[in-house]
Amino acid sequence: MCQGDDATCPQFELHYRALKDNLDAERRGFLKSGFVAAGGLATLGVGGASLVTPALAEAAAARQPGERTHHYLPANADTVHWGYFSKTLKPQVEIESGDLVTIETLTHQASDDLERMVEGDPGAESVFLWTKDKKGVDRRGAGTTDPKLYKKGSGEGQGVHVMTGPVYVRGAEPGDILEVRILDCVPRPCANPKYKGKSFGSNAAAWWGYHYNDLLGGEKREVVTIYEVDAGGSKSWAQAVYNFKWVPQTDPFGVVHPTIDYPGVPVDHAKTSRNFDALKGVRVPIRPHFGTLGVAPADADFVDTIPPNRTGGNIDNWRIGKGATMYYPVAVEGALLSVGDPHASQGDSELCGTAIECSLTGVFQLILHKKADLAGTALEELNYPMLETQDEWLVHGFSFANYLKDLGPDAQTEIYTKSSVDLAMRDAFRKMRHFLMTTQKLTEDEAISLMSIGVDFGVTQVVDGNWGVHAIVRKEIFAGRA
């Protein structure tokens, strides 16, 4: 019988709620209102065709154990890694294919307003803890951890996202495909009683933003805007609370940060000047999603979370939210999925360098497709991360499709010197052609005509080193095809 873990059960939603109610209530209690308010689970399996055909789903199911488990992975100093993917990390949870896992994620920008995004929240407090003697999470980034070598801090801020995980999927090996269904995705309520029922996020117009060297008048400045998001789900928009210009901040270890050059530096608002009139009356539609979601790369031990890659990561497509499914080529044993960089909203381009960076909790179902089952299926040749929504399929082009391999031993620094929308457009074109030819069995000529008249190319992001262009094709286009 379905234990609230079989999305194909007709009474799944009912069973799932019962399961949730029975799960350790202490921790989850404060999130529950958000889940319910957000309308419960997405109705997967209903509606649009999936890349996973019934036969492929059956093959995957046959490899799953009879019972599914719903795991819970909180975010705290023990369960997160900050600023890097790594195949060397110890898994936080081991799961079977088909299992569900609820994963809490924290935004790395929470220290822009500790009062609204950290205080009173034990998980966030443990991660952002930073006194003159101790950091909750010392390493932040893929850079050096040698105090004699780093200038900004351990890990050197080469990679910024607080990542929860990794999740080890039993049986996953290179050559397999990991299907990641996002069943739910809700803002993390503020734990400070002063702001009950609200959630908050931060948008930093930072030095790595697309606009930075093109400001009117030529001034260089970084501006942070704090946004309020309704945690209860009754408002579909976010609103600015205030903004402030970044001024040099001294971290508890005594390092001065003249710009936003290291993640998690606690902002001392005694030094800033806050403008509470910012964006008065402007309502930004919310699009909760995970900016960074992916499996561990094989090509390096420590990989900066910023540039997206063949194994996914920081794709920063706002469509990677509730109801969406991602497919990743597995690169290392166990897949090692990590999740972070939660966003309440983002536009295509993420122009100023960040979204509304806002802690979220997601419910995921992970399904492993073994290489041996892929022959003749739509996933057979998939060697890039792709996105499926209820109505659409999307491929993601990058300036370099697999930059860790494409750019040689210095790939992780080289990539930042080679950012280009033009190159990402070229990659998106090639991937969409490949997708249409392999999954829909079109000829090259058919695929190219269709791409011109029925596929939309958009600018995913121009701020992550390895810039992105996505291509969207609607499933209904193929609904009349035998």
User: Which residues here bind a second copy, judged by CB under 8 A?
Assistant: 203, 205, 209-211, 214-216, 221, 223, 225, 227, 238, 240, 243, 278-285, 345-356, 420-422, 425-426, 429-430, 433, 442, 444-446, 448-459, 462, 469, 474, 476-482
Nearest-approach distance from CB 304 to a second copy, in angstroms? 21
At CA 16, angle to CA 13 and CA 18, rounded to 5? 115
Nearest to a second copy of 30, 457 (CB atom): 457
Nearest-approach distance from CB 277 to a second copy, in angstroms? 10
Specify the pairing of strand 356-357 against strand 93-95: unpaired
Nearest to a second copy of 46, 482 (CB atom): 482
Nearest to a second copy of 36, 279 (CB atom): 279
Nearest to a second copy of 59, 437 (CB atom): 437
Nearest-approach distance from CB 378 to a second copy, in angstroms? 16
Nearest-approach distance from CB 68 to a second copy, in angstroms? 36
Written as one string, the DSSP assignment of 161-221 is: -EEEEEEEETT--TT-EEEEEEEEEEEPPP-SGGGTTEEEEEEEE-TTSTTGGG-GGG---
Distance CA 482, CA 474 (A): 17
What are φ and ψ of residue 54, in 5° steps? Answer: -55, -40
One-letter identity of residue 92: Q
What are φ and ψ of residue 244, in 5° steps? Answer: -155, 150
> Is 93:69 a contact under the CB 8 Å cutoff?
no
Nearest to a second copy of 339, 356 (CB atom): 356
Nearest-approach distance from CB 354 to a second copy, in angstroms? 7
Nearest to a second copy of 180, 423 (CB atom): 423
Distance CA 41, CA 35 (A): 8
Distance CA 311, CA 321 (A): 18
Three-class SS state of 94: strand
Distance CA 279, CA 355 (A): 16
CA atoms within 13 A on the CB side of 192: 14
Nearest-approach distance from CB 291 to a second copy, in angstroms? 12
Nearest-approach distance from CB 458 to a second copy, in angstroms? 4
Distance CA 356, CA 97 (A): 32
One-letter identity of residue 265: V
Nearest to a second copy of 101, 206 (CB atom): 206
Nearest to a second copy of 178, 240 (CB atom): 240
Nearest-approach distance from CB 96 to a second copy, in angstroms? 38
